[in-house]
């Protein structure tokens, strides 16, 4: 089941990069810690927990379709978080 391992790694990498981006934006703007940045980080961690829980679900009717749905959720939620990070830097 290498694809499940790859999906978990992808979730971790994408959301980890978003958290890193928040820290970079705050550091370059002179804003060490902002409430907006903390909210984005909390959302990223919550999204990580949610997606990993979905990946680990064993009793699903169609495993392949279920994992595709998880990938789609990751893409949508990551895009929304990136937009928030971009707004943070403005």
Whether the pLDDT of residue 86 is over 70: the answer is yes
The better pLDDT of the pair 20, 32 is held by 20
**pLDDT at res. 31:** 65
Nearest to 83 by CA among 50, 28, 49, 44: 44
pLDDT, tens only, 61-73: 999 999 999 999 9
Between CA 5 and CA 12, with CA 6 as vertex, the angle to 5 degrees is 95
Q: What is the pLDDT of residues 2-21, one digit of tens each?
A: 589 999 999 999 999 999 99
Section 29-58 average pLDDT: 91
Give the dihedral sign, CA 90/39/20/26: positive
User: What pTM does this model have?
Assistant: 0.90
Cβ–Cβ < 8 Å for 15, 80: no
């Amino acid at each position: 089941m290498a694809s499940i391992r790859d999906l978990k790694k992808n979730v971790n990498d994408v959301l980890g990069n978003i958290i890193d981006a928040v820290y970079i934006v705050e550091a370059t703007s002179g804003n060490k810690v902002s409430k907006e940045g903390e909210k984005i980080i909390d959302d990223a961690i919550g999204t990580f927990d949610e997606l990993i829980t979905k990946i680990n679900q064993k009793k699903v009717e169609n495993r392949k379709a279920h994992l595709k749905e998880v990938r789609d959720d990751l893409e949508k939620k990551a895009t929304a978080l990136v937009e928030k990070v971009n707004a943070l830097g403005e």
